[in-house]
Amino acid sequence: KNQVEQSPQSLIILEGKNCTLQCNYTVSPFSNLRWYKQDTGRGPVSLTIMTFSENTKSNGRYTATLDADTKQSSLHITASQLSDSASYICVVEKDYGGSQGNLIFGKGTKLSVKP
Amino acid sequence: GAGVSQSPRYKVAKRGQDVALRCDPISGHVSLFWYQQALGQGPEFLTYFQNEAQLDKSGLPSDRFFAERPEGSVSTLKIQRTQQEDSAVYLCASTSLMAGISNQPQHFGDGTRLSIL
């Protein structure tokens, strides 16, 4: 079972509308949760990083929330633009206390914004 | 350039051939990661370098995969005797700080799309 589950798998919205993407995780011990945006044919770009003590973080029209008790996160996109069409990947970093290779990626939500 | 650079962007090889993929991290970045991303999936960890030291190679799928970073900057991922299941996008990422320091964003290159015929 994937330790980071995202929903929906894909989403189509009209330009100007808002949307919310979900991420549930079972990764433990938890260090932080990240949201990345990946345009087609490009590498992922970091949007937000939240630690255990943070429950919300914004980056322009993107707002991420984190509930570490229920192990859920969401990414809210406000007033969507055509350029928001991309895959949004939720990533949880495991707390290994020094070892790398501990970023666990979800499969992503593919968002399409239509005019 | 200012970002992580990967080459080639696309590579087509016949099954059984060896391939080499290159990553130029952001100048001065200590940590370098390789990931494999299958179509429609999230990236999966392959290996990690801190400067020239390969500290974690637990994600390499077989002994046909080999990575090096001899001078602590440019890295090469080599795949020997390629198989069709090796077809994927190979992403490289770098961060400015050492392992164990969390909350640092990884800066990704745009990847090499490898197709094995």
Read off the pLDDT of residues A77-103 as tens digits, 9 standing for 90 and up: 999 999 999 999 999 988 765 555 578
pLDDT band, very low/low/confident/very high, at A10 (cuts 50, 70, 90): very high
Q: Mark yes or no for CB contact A101/B45 under 8 Å.
A: yes
In the prediction, which pLDDT does A15 show? Answer: 97
User: Measured between beta carbons, which residues in chain A are less than 8 angstroms from residue B33?
Assistant: 100-101
Six-digit token string for A69: 């008790």
A53 close to B (CB below 8 A): no
Q: How far is CA A76 from CA A17, A23, B87, in A?
A: 11, 11, 33
- The reply to whether A95 touches chain B by the CB within 8 Å rule is yes
pLDDT, tens digit, 9 for 90 and up, residues B20-62:
999 999 998 988 999 999 998 999 999 999 899 998 898 999 9
End-to-end CA distance of chain B, in Å? 33
B/e letters for B9-47, b = 16+ CB within 10 Å, e = fewer, are eebebeeeeebebebbbbeebbbbbbbbbeeebbbbbbb
With cut-offs at 50, 70 and 90, classify the pLDDT of residue A14: very high
CB-CB: which of A45, A98, A108 is closest to B100?
A: A98
Check residue A101 and give its pLDDT.
56
pLDDT in tens, A24-47: 999 888 888 999 999 999 999 999
- A97 contacts chain B (CB < 8 A): yes
